[in-house]
Every structure is written in structure tokens, then in C-alpha cells.
Structure 1
């Protein structure tokens, strides 16, 4: 399998806003390892175009989603500088194919984390603070008909991240007990707690540091890590306004235009 060739198909889809067929049907022997190689090939192409990695995202952190896709661990993707949307900015729906919105906590690192052996305590020590955030996911695979290898190859189906403007020190927070309320157009659509994210969002960050360590990759000082969704994603259309609020951490909003 030519990893770069497959990566270019995904990048063309992203650029043209035209989805492609399911990769795992076209390449029936594609493994999870192949999928991560495709993801990295795509990221390397973007880096060669002048983009910069600003962090990582973790997906499939809930047991429900893992069961749905028949897996027993999360996945991850890369966050690039052109994916960042600041609070207060609008998001052009036409830039995306079939976006969905997830409420998450973003970890801002002030130390490098590299596995193996990274613990929740290490994550607390290495984190400058926590910021309310959205991840906007978008599949370059038509109609979101994906298996695990499809979403991994497609950079974890990641498209945008929206960061709140308030960062809270992590030191005294019990992340597994933090509640989240998710609103769409002024109506609450879901709520959840940090324990939905691998039992503790910090445990998701530790998992990622250890997973990346097997590829000799670190979570670098200054990077943003999206730890995973508290609740199911919500579809986004032009005119939709989303707000996510976390107990004691504040809120963040985004509007699609």
C-alpha cells in the first residue's frame, strides 16, 4: 500500500469538500498500523506546505463509542495551526463536509510527556491548565460510513478546534467529577461528566503519551491536547450556535455561518 497516495486522496477530499468512498472497502487488507502511517503521511504533506503541529486529539474515549466500532482503546489525530478557531470567531460551514461538534477539555502542557510509563500524576504535573473546548469533527469518508482504520487514516476525523478564553490551573481539580452541559441553539442537548472520558480525562492524556511513545513521539511542551468528548457529537449546519459549559471552568461558544 502506498501510504502517501492514500493520504493525498484524503487531502484532496478535504480541499475540495467532496467525500470519498470507505477506505477499508477499497483497501480490504488495511490494518490499524497502516492507517496511522497514512495519517502521518498526510500530516507530513501538510508540514511540507508550511503548517505546524500545535497538539493532538484523542478520540473514542467513551466505552459506548469503542463498543460501537468494536475496539478496546481510543485513537488519536494531530492538531494543526490552520485548524484553530478562537472563541468569538465564527466558523464557515462551507469549509467542511459533514461537521459534528463535541464538547471536550483541552490540556495545555508546560512540560513534555513521553511514554512509556506516563501516569495520571505525570499528566497533572505537566499540565499548565485546562480550557473548555470544542472539537469539530468531519469525515472525508462519505456519509460517515467508517470503521476504526478509516477514521485513523483520516486524522481521527478531526477538522477544527475551538478554545475558550479562560484557563484554569489543574492542580486542585478532580476531573472525573467535572460536569458538562452542551447546548445547541439555546437548548440543552446533552450533559455528562469527566468520568465518561476513560474514567478521567487525564487518563486519556496519559494513554496518548504512552501510545505515542511506542512511535518515539512525545507530547511536547506548549502543545494542546483534546482529551475526548464527554457526550455524543451534534451535527452542525449553517446558523447553528453551540455552547458548552463546565462546572467551575467556564464555557465556550461557536457559531456556524
Structure 2
């Protein structure tokens, strides 16, 4: 209801203090199942809280993950209603498009690179259905890792000479750079983050499938956006994506 009505609620962990991370992922999976039954399609996965700035921002010390559905993907340069979200923030990332499955446990960054067809610059719109972003790890996990929407750039065929760990990303709002960072902020290498995800979803009987994409985590902190704002993410060698909030 908080999502459909765009009406944030208080932290779940205040109402259910005994909740643990396993409970939170069970809530997330139940919501995913309901949306799939309503006709949505699972197109990808997201990793959250991979960088030190984002972990510090939310006061957690480990990554989390969520799902991405077909209606959560927006075209580069598009406009989205600000009212579609509760309290959106934006962050720059690299997306991985897979040509081979990744099944944990034991997936390595090298296996991720071998399974990657292409990479792209992406702008993730994170959103919290928990009021004022006052949440714990369990709260954000239950809330689908604070997923909102994703703007994808053009896919670039992956090659071994693409060094994502050294690439620089820039986040801008209304033409002003808010923050910048390099790929090593994402668990040392975005491919390492994707390997973490493949292993983390394995206990749920889930694998990363060919044709799906993975949002590997933010290079920077996240910036709030409001009605009338435009936001863009640039990753060196991969290009720029943008979105406007109407």
C-alpha cells in the first residue's frame, strides 16, 4: 500500500523488532511473487549499499539486493512523474548484461567477466517507502532494497581491457556535479559486486540468467531529486544517461 499510494510508512523494524534479514528477504520475495502474478516480468537485479558512502549514509555494514521488473526501466533522456516516487534519490552505476548464467555459491569476479555480454552506464533512482529514509538494513531489504527505477545507457560489448574498477563516474543534478567516484568504491570492483550477488541469491534458489542485467552498485553517494529537476550520470568510456522529473 505504501508503494501504490506513494504514502511512506514507519520502519517495519519498529513494529516488528524481532525481524531479521532473513525475514526481510522473505517479505521482498513475497512481494516479487505477487507482482509477477500480476503480469510483470523480471528483467534484472540490483545490488545496493556496496559503497562506503552509501553504507555510511544508511548506517549499515553490508550490501543488499533487490529485483528489477520491466515497468521499472526508463529510456535514456525520458521524463518521469516525480509523483511516481516517495522520496527519490539518484546514483550512478554500471549495469552488466549477461549472456551466460551465474549460479552460486562460489561465483568469482572472473566468472562474472566471462558471463558478461555488455556493460552500460546507468542511473538508478532509489526510493524508500519508509518515511524520511529512517531505516535499517532489514527495512530496506523488505522494501526491495529501496528500488525505484533504472535508466540505462547504450550497451557496450564487454572486453577484458575494460577496467571498471578504475573508471570514474560523475553524478549531476541540474547540470551541477554533486559527486564523483571510481569503480573501486563498489566492493573493490563492480564485477566483484555481481559475484557477491550471484552467491547471495543462491540460498533462495535463484540464479542470474542470460538476458538479465545487474545494477552493480553506486560509485558515489545518492542525491535527492525534486519536481523540475534533471539528473545525469556519466561513466568514463561508457557515456552519459539522463532523466527529468516532471
Question: Could you state the TM-score of these two structures normalised by the residue count of structure 2?
Answer: 0.97
Identify which of 195, 202, 208 aligns with 2:191. Answer: 202
Identify which of 219, 224, 229 aligns with 1:240. Answer: 229
1:185 aligns with 2:174: yes
1:111 aligns with 2:111: no
Structure 1 range deviating more: 181-190 or 25-34: 181-190
Deviation at residue 70 of structure 1 after TM alignment? 5.2
Identify which of 31, 38, 48 aligns with 1:42. Answer: 31
Deviation at residue 123 of structure 1 after TM alignment? 0.4
1:66-81 alignment runs, 5 A limit: 66-67=55-56, 69=58, 71-81=60-70
| Distance in 1 (alpha carbons) for counterparts of 2:79 and 2:70 | 16
Q: Which residue of 2 aligns with 1:154?
A: 143
1:176 aligns with 2:165: yes
| Distance in 2 (alpha carbons) for counterparts of 1:100 and 1:22 | 18
Give structure 2 stretches of 5+ with no counterpart.
Answer: none
| Distance in 2 (alpha carbons) for counterparts of 1:65 and 1:102 | 10
| Distance in 1 (alpha carbons) for counterparts of 2:92 and 2:82 | 18
| Distance in 2 (alpha carbons) for counterparts of 1:237 and 1:193 | 26
Q: Which residue of 2 aligns with 1:221?
A: 210
| Distance in 2 (alpha carbons) for counterparts of 1:205 and 1:55 | 12
Question: Could you state the TM-score of these two structures normalised by the residue count of structure 1?
Answer: 0.93
Deviation at residue 68 of structure 1 after TM alignment? 5.3
| Distance in 2 (alpha carbons) for counterparts of 1:190 and 1:108 | 26
Deviation at residue 45 of structure 1 after TM alignment? 0.6
| CA deviation profile, 1:2-59 (whole Å, cap 9, x unmatched) | xxxxxxxxxx111111111110000010010000000000000101101011010000
Q: Which residue of 1 aligns with 2:11?
A: 22
Structure 1 range deviating more: 88-97 or 143-152: 88-97
| CA deviation profile, 1:162-199 (whole Å, cap 9, x unmatched) | 00124242432111100111111111111100000000
| Distance in 1 (alpha carbons) for counterparts of 2:140 and 2:98 | 26
Aligned length, in residue pairs: 246
Secondary structure of the residue aligned to 1:13 is coil
1:211 aligns with 2:208: no
Identify which of 118, 129, 141 aligns with 1:129. Answer: 118
| Distance in 2 (alpha carbons) for counterparts of 1:92 and 1:168 | 32
Deviation at residue 63 of structure 1 after TM alignment? 2.8
Q: Is the 8 A contact 1:166 1:250 kept in 2?
A: no
Give structure 1 stretches of 5+ with no counterpart.
Answer: 1-11
Secondary structure of the residue aligned to 2:39 is coil
